[in-house]
Structure formats: C-alpha cells, structure tokens
C-alpha cells in the first residue's frame, strides 16, 4: 500500500503541472494574438496603399456584356484577341532569338565552356575541402 504522503505529493505535482499548463496556454495565446494583430494591421496598411483612390466610382465596364450591343462586345473581343496574339508573337520572337544564340555556338565553343566550368568546379571543391 502507498503511503498517504506520496498521494499528497502526486496531487500537488498534478495541480502544479496543470497550473503551469494553463499559464503557458494563456501566455502563448496572448502572444499569438498580438502577432496576428500586428500582421493584420500590416496587411491592411499595404492593401490600402495598393488601392487606388483616383479611380472613378463607376468603371466603364459596369454594364454586363450580355446587355451591351453585339458590335461593342465583338470589338472588345477582337482587341483582346489581338493583344493576346501580339504577346504570343513576342514570346515566339524571344524564344527564336534564344534558339538562334544557342545554335550559333560551335562544338569547340561548348567544349571550351565545359572545360572552364569543370576547372571552376574543381577549384570550388578544393576550397571547400580546405575550409573543412
């Protein structure tokens, strides 16, 4: 049979741990609340800086497209498609220039580049080993 004083110590230990746990939860909860509040204020400040107050109250596209005349909707579609095609053409042109640059390299140029990369890698490896 366990003596009564052991049970008393166990109960005291239990209540001390329980009290510390409550203190820990409250302390960290308040800290987290402050951090969330600061983060919320930073986000709201940045969102207000992002919002443009010089915009008109009613945007030009406030009328839904299914109510507008068909010629207006088709003109808008045409302009948007033209912009998309221009972006695609610009992208193709940039990629063609990159391919042309890579095609201009000869085999000896690539071998020279490979050798210079290998030497710089070996120098870097030797420096890393010297540091250790």
- The rounded percent of the chain whose pLDDT value lies above 90 is 62
Shared-domain flag, residues 6 and 46 = yes
Write down the mean pLDDT value for the chain.
89
- Taking only the tens place, the pLDDT of each residue in 20-62 is 999 999 999 999 999 999 999 999 988 888 876 666 666 666 7
Residue 10 lies in a domain: yes
Spatial separation of the C-alpha atoms in residues 126 and 120, rounded to whole Å: 10
The domain total for the chain is 2
Q: Could you tell me which of 26, 8, 28 has the C-alpha nearest to residue 16?
A: 8
Q: How confident is the model at residue 118 (pLDDT cuts 50, 70, 90)?
A: very high
Whether residue 82 is contained in a domain is answered as yes
- Residue 24: both structure tokens together: 């820990």
Does any domain span residue 42? yes
Q: Does residue 119 lie in a domain region?
A: no
Assigned domain for 120 exists: no
123 assigned to some structural domain: no
In a domain, 113, yes or no: no
User: What predicted TM-score, i.e. pTM, was given to this entire model?
Assistant: 0.39
What residues make up the domain containing 86?
Answer: 65-105
In a shared domain, residues 38 and 76: no
Q: What is the pLDDT of residue 49?
A: 83
What's the Cα-to-Cα distance from 78 to each of 71, 74, 83, 86, rounded to whole Å?
Answer: 10, 6, 9, 12
Q: CB of 73 within 8 A of CB of 65?
A: yes
Instruction: Answer whether residue 115 is part of any domain.
Output: no
Given 3-state DSSP classes, what are the helix, strand and coil percentages for the chain, each rounded to the nearest 5?
A: 80, 0, 20
Q: What own/partner pairs with CB < 8 Å and gap ≥ 24 does 57-64 have?
A: none
Sign of the CA dihedral running 22, 28, 31, 37: negative
């Amino acid at each position: 049979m366990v003596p009564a004083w052991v049970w008393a110590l166990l109960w005291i230990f239990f209540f001390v741990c329980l009290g510390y746990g409550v203190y820990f939860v409250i302390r960290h909860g308040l800290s987290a609340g402050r951090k969330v509040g600061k983060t919320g204020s930073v986000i709201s400040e940045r969102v207000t800086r992002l919002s443009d107050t010089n915009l008109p109250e009613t945007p030009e596209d406030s009328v839904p497209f299914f109510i507008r005349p068909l010629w207006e909707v088709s003109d808008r579609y045409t302009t948007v498609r033209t912009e998309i095609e221009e972006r695609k053409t610009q992208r193709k042109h940039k990629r063609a220039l990159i391919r042309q640059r890579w095609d201009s390299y000869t085999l000896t140029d690539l071998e020279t580049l490979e050798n210079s990369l290998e030497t710089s890698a070996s120098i870097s490896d030797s420096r890393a080993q010297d540091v250790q």
